[in-house]
A = this chain, B = another copy of it.
Amino acid sequence: MSGPASDSGRPAVALIGGGRIGRIHAGNAAAHPALSLKYVIDPFGAAAAQLASRYGASATTLERALADPAVAGVIVASPTDQHLAQCLQAAAAGKAIFCEKPVDLSVERARSAAGALAGARLFLGFNRRFDPSFRALREKLQAGVIGSLETLHIISHDPAPPPVSYIKVSGGLFKDMTIHDFDVARWLLAEPVVEVYAMAACLVDPAIGAADDIDTAKVLLRTASGRMALISNSRRSGYGYDQRIEAFGSGGSVRVDNLTATTVAVWGEEGATRAPFQNFFLERYAEAYRLEMDHFAAVLSGEEPSIRFTDGVQALELAEAAGRSHATGRPVALSGGA
């Protein structure tokens, strides 16, 4: 199965959203040898026009883009509260979909859309799953290099907190930030999570607490067979973007460390200092975003999406459970697992 082709002979895609992540996807789609970026859609017409012109695409509306039979796929990089509606629209138009995380901030709403999206060729963009180091870690796990996986530590600390205005519409730490780590945990644990306990606090910035959110959390997950995972989150590390995983198994451990921009080190009286860690996700996951676009091109050529809408729903269920655990001070059991 393969999608319709643009004039260039390459399948055309439309991008919704000209913000930070939208611009990344625009560049990757435009540079991709098997894709052609045809449309950019953004309510801020000027932003859409500027981004479109940079890559020889046109600014338009979602309706028009969906009506164009040359458009094979839609990239949903809009604000979270529009994801579901746009996915449903694109799916109804028969387009393949590459949707940014999270699918929605409400488990209920997300679940209610699951039926309509079940048949869609929808690929959910959890960037960690495309990071070469995390992939290599998973391959080691699957190859049995450390025997049977027992426990997992996921460290995910941001360099610095976002503006409080963003925090207020973010859905909160668990749905906005930990959502990535819930997905990574599900991906690596390879078993349904049956219990969630979250210990969290506002330690970084009182304004975040005033906005009724937390900025620091330790979340424990447990699977049916007894595997355990820790997720450590902070909105501010003070040393760059900390994205590490340690997996402990019956025969050893496999781990991924942080990336530095260069391998330069300075040796002086005070010790040996390595280059700082890459600062944030646009650098740290640059390669992952390129590989996501590769995968979307493959989906447009008929490959099965590797991350489905339901993965997004289940990560959201874990986020909601973590929120309840934090609110009640108790572990939360997930009857069906997530």
CA distance A42 to B140 in the complex (A): 43
In this assembly, does A249 line the interface, its C-beta being within 8 Å of a C-beta of chain B?
yes
A181–chain B nearest beta-carbon distance, Å: 14
In this assembly, does A7 line the interface, its C-beta being within 8 Å of a C-beta of chain B?
no
A140 touches which of B133, B145, B264 (Cβ 8 Å): B264
CA distance A329 to B242 in the complex (A): 31
Asked whether A254 lies within 8 Å of B264 as measured between CB atoms, the reply is yes
A 235-270 contacts with B by CB, 8 A: 236-240, 242, 248-270
In this assembly, does A137 line the interface, its C-beta being within 8 Å of a C-beta of chain B?
yes
Asked whether B276 lies within 8 Å of A150 as measured between CB atoms, the reply is no
Asked whether B271 lies within 8 Å of A204 as measured between CB atoms, the reply is no
CA distance A270 to B261 in the complex (A): 12
Contacts of A277 in B (CB 8 A): 267, 271-272
A233–chain B nearest beta-carbon distance, Å: 10
Asked whether B253 lies within 8 Å of A266 as measured between CB atoms, the reply is yes
Asked whether A255 lies within 8 Å of B251 as measured between CB atoms, the reply is no
CB within 8 Å for A269 and B150 given contacts A199-B220, A220-B218, A257-B263 = no
CA distance A257 to B140 in the complex (A): 23
Asked whether B271 lies within 8 Å of A276 as measured between CB atoms, the reply is yes
In this assembly, does A6 line the interface, its C-beta being within 8 Å of a C-beta of chain B?
no
In this assembly, does A132 line the interface, its C-beta being within 8 Å of a C-beta of chain B?
yes
Contacts of A248 in B (CB 8 A): 157, 234, 237
A291–chain B nearest beta-carbon distance, Å: 13
In this assembly, does A275 line the interface, its C-beta being within 8 Å of a C-beta of chain B?
yes
A 1-47 contacts with B by CB, 8 A: 31
Contacts of A197 in B (CB 8 A): 197, 199, 220, 331
In this assembly, does A201 line the interface, its C-beta being within 8 Å of a C-beta of chain B?
yes
Q: Give 20 CB contacts A-B under 8 Å.
A: A132-B262, A133-B263, A147-B238, A150-B203, A150-B204, A150-B216, A150-B234, A153-B232, A197-B197, A197-B220, A199-B222, A238-B252, A239-B253, A242-B267, A256-B265, A257-B263, A260-B271, A271-B275, A271-B276, A272-B276
Supplied contacts A153-B232, A272-B276, 9 more A-B pairs, CB within 8 Å: A136-B261, A136-B264, A147-B238, A197-B331, A218-B220, A230-B232, A237-B252, A255-B265, A271-B276
